[in-house]
């Protein structure tokens, strides 16, 4: 009986940890990559399209959104290298971790909070993440 309970708990742990994988990472990473490519081309109107309706409402115009990214997230505006790390679920939200090397060679990790509107993924926020052992 103990083995059955332990096996059930173990199996449930795997189901919970795999839940973020129910969101196909390909469209999510494609959305983020497309926005970064738009920023690199200074195409703020196209970059703005990948933002969620909430973010678009917050900034109002592609130009204001572009200025915020240039000033607040310059590594996203002009990355030297982009690597997609883990896709997970955090507090019911889909989060894609991205590692970006900026033009000066510094590494940055960011969590991209993703939402699905209809059949399209949008970026609903980005949060800088402290990289253990870097800058400490």
The pLDDT confidence band at residue 8, using thresholds 50, 70 and 90, is: very low
Which residues are registered as beta bridge partners of 98?
A: 84, 110
Cα separation, 13 vs 85, in Å, equals 21
Q: What is the pLDDT of residues 43-69, one digit of tens each?
A: 999 999 999 999 999 999 999 999 999
Residue 107's DSSP bridge partners are 101
Select from 92, 134, 85, 136 the least CA-distant residue to 116: 92
**Is residue 21 scored above 50 in pLDDT?**
no
> 32: pLDDT confidence band, cut at 50, 70 and 90?
very high
Residue 95 burial class via C-beta count within 10 angstroms: exposed 0-12, middle 13-18, buried 19 and up: buried
* Domains identified in the chain and CATH numbers: 23-129 (3.10.450.50)
Contact (Cβ atoms closer than 8 angstroms) between residue 69 and residue 76: yes
* CA distance to 14, 15, 51, 126, 129, per residue, from 121 (Å): 25, 23, 9, 14, 22
Beta-strand runs (E) in 14-135: 81-90, 93-101, 107-117, 120-129
User: According to the model, what pLDDT value does residue 23 have?
Assistant: 54
* Model pLDDT for residues 89-110, shown as the tens digit of each residue: 988 999 999 999 999 999 999 9
């Amino acid at each position: 009986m103990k083995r059955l309970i332990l096996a059930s708990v173990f199996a449930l742990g795997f189901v919970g940890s795999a839940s973020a994988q129910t969101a196909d990472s390909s469209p999510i990473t494609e959305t983020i990559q497309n926005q970064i490519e738009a920023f690199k081309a200074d195409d703020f109107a196209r970059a703005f399209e990948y933002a969620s309706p909430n973010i678009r409402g917050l900034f109002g115009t592609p130009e204001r959104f572009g200025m915020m990214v240039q000033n607040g997230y310059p590594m996203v505006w002009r990355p030297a290298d982009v690597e997609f790390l883990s896709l997970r679920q955090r507090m019911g939200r889909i989060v894609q971790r991205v590692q970006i090397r900026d033009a000066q060679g510094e590494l940055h990790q960011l969590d991209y909070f993703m939402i699905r509107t209809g059949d399209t993924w949008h970026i609903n926020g980005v949060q800088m993440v402290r990289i253990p052992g870097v800058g400490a």
